[in-house]
Structure 1
Amino acid sequence: MKKIHTALLAACLLTTSVLPVLPSSQAYAFSAYSAKVYASSLNVRSEPAAGAAVSGNLAGGAIVTVTDEQHGWLKVRAGSVSGWVAGYYLKRTSAAAPASSAGSPSGSGSAKAPVKTSAASSGTATVTASSLRLRGGPGTGHEVVGSLQSGDKVTILLRQGEWSRVRTAGGTVGWVAGEYLSGGGIRNVSTSTAGSSSPSRSVVRKAGSIRGKLIVIDPGHGGSDPGMMGTTYNTMEKDLTLQTSLYLRDYLTAKGARVELTRTRGDQKPALSQRVQLGLRLGADAFVSIHYNSSPKNVSGTLTFFYSEQNDLRLARAIETRLGQGIGLRSNGLSYGNYHILRENPLPSTLVELGFLSNPYDESVVRKASYQRKAAQAVAEGVADYFSN
């Protein structure tokens, strides 16, 4: 995907609101973590760009330490190999890398306190979520080994931080987020989906009509950051994202929503932290980031990202469902995205990739205003569905 970082938004946003300059004390501090390579072979590049020189290679299944992110590109370290890789070929395997191998991007930083592990104080608990994923380990990076439904009884075997190791009535053993269990000394939190969001993120519930809801639309890139460049027609992603976002604004306002854009001109390039802060400052109801994709492989279509299953997944699914009904390119479904614009955003948020500029056919399609309007209309319908369900 792409890169965005450090700049000030120097002009008015939609209507009369202005995005304030954030003090340096609010700068984004990256927390290193471990991830696994999900590709047969992955090039490591000297810079976060598809055209940068290849400085190394990682084999499929390799475990790396991620030390930085530039919106879709991840800076990694594995043994003597270090550099940037395309983030969609990695999957997070831990909340944070060990201090001895990760730390801060510069190699410094203090170790984090160990996660507290304790035996269960009571043997049984009841599932409170409508659907709860059972995982192979205590974290969202572990594979799903089963699922539970509301009212199911489990035996608690162990607790580690916010996670509980349980045994189901059928004998399956796995880990679940403890906040979705009641009894057994577990705090009861009721919600509609569960089992893989960050425990620190709050639950934001939305219901009813979209009329009066405030939606922040984020046209990716801008200014000196063109984003991806089309391989056939040299189409600049920053132009596509802005035009598509303007269409999306029109469709949403026609439905009665209030809309703010993180940028409204091609020469604007707000930092990632500023884009997130705009939604928080305005008290927005949802956040949608618009992008166009790139890949070294011959892939085509749209892809919709979420970070928190508890906070973001329902919004992402509503939009992906509409995209999948037909806009000119096929939908590749939903995907977990560990991107700043989602990870650091407590609002229900999603990042939508509306085609691959690395694919000649996709690029020829997404350049057309008719496609951009169809895509924008589908996203708007998805947002409306989210607030109506």
Structure 2
Amino acid sequence: MRSNVKVMCFFLIVVLLIAGFPLSTASAATNTATVNATSLNVRTEPSSSSKQIGSVKKGSIVTVIKIEKGWANISFNDRNAWVSSAYLVSNGTTSSSTPSQKVTKTKKTAKVTATSLNVRNGAGTQYKSVGSLKNGSIVSIVKEEGNWSSITYGSIKGWVSNAYLLNQTGTSPTNTKPSATKPVNSGKWGRVTATYLNFRSAGNLSSPIIGSLKFDTAVQILSESGSWVYIQTSDGKKGWVSSQYISIQTGGSLVATNPKPATKPPVAPPSSIAKKVVIMSDGVNVRQGPSTAYLIVGHANQGDEFAFLQSKNDWVQIKLPNGKSAWVAGWLVALQQSPSSNSPSTSKPALGGLKGKRIVVDPGHGGNDPGASGRSSGTQEAAMTLMSARLLATQLSNAGAKVILTRSDNTYISLNKRVEISHYHFADAFVSLHYNSASNKSASGLLTFYYGQKDLKLANSVNAGLIQANTGLKSGNVRYGNFHVLRENKQPAVLVELGFLSNPFDEVTIKSNSFQTKAATGITAGLAQYFQ
């Protein structure tokens, strides 16, 4: 009889187990989760101010007892402890659990900021491309490895560079300390004070350039980190810029295309007493304010006329053709009475073909590579190419082109990086600027180089534009050049040598405002002709 009872009890236990009923109501339901932080602090209480008793590495499996207000109660070294639940990914449960004890598995996504982002079969540029993603695509991040993320997008699976991703909270997918970036009031905005300002994928000069901003562009300030600010333009583009080139204001908001400036520009006098300003020299600097300490926003040449607004000390404020105001030195202009304030009628080259074109302007050398040096006064090539590039960028940008500078200050950029920038932006044209040097002091003039057949038409157009600009140097010609930035470049590319620093006459001419302005005008006109 007893044996039959034992058999029946055993049979009942088996049935209960198969049915999924727990044998003891005291059994605790458990969840397991994987740590996705590099190193996760373990604390005695659910607070960042409580005592730290250890840490768990990325990939570790922990047993989660319960979740409370962003903290997970876990089993650690045979005792209860607490970790931030934000850095845990649930693996499911090993037995039944109440909904309040679950660790929610969040899906991590990011937005592509590149025009076209290569997807590779490994975490590195040496791996083969298996596809590409368009700007704005939202991808799911599977895992991260260094500066690369494994992602999925529809049927596309592979690895992409974190430099071109922004996650849904507006930060890079790579692990960064939350305190590194300081959010600011959403009503805070500012204006660009540089003639031409690059904005980048991260707050440092080594990060890729993802766009550019013109002078006086209004931007929303989203966050700050050191000497960099994270901004958003009126058309939704986001990136990092140096805070020294942003005039920050508080209050108001970024509405429509551009908010009105804090102070209205002066209104021109009535037409009956209007004066006009006539420029008396070539290459006159046009500045933001009435002194040489203000930023140069453009140039004017002999014979150009502008409406007079006011004078201050030795400076004259003028009205530009676009309606904005600027200042020129009073000793370089003449004031004349005029029945009207018409803008200059000087004929300009047709630049319509430049609108919307992506042009990479590459100032040669930089940083620990100063380039050639002038024999007469030691003029440094790296400094001159940057000056020329900024002027050229301003003219191209004013003509409607989207301009990308490979460097915007005295920083060393490798030849490979310069070419990568051209490829990344799918440049419609790549123009590398240099100044020549030769052992023969009599060597003089301009030269334009090309490498492949795809570059020849561009080289001929740029050379023709420089000849028509009448820069004051010997007219150049077009030559074949086996240079890295041309040879390795898949986009149409030219390298322009804007005179010889080894020639005393060239060196003096090159440093003049007149030459710099005319050279930029010539290249701009040549590019416009090429696209037409």
**What TM-score results when the alignment is normalised by the length of structure 2?**
0.35
The structure with the largest strand share of the pair is 2
Higher relative contact order (CA 8 A, sep 6+): 1
**What TM-score results when the alignment is normalised by the length of structure 1?**
0.47
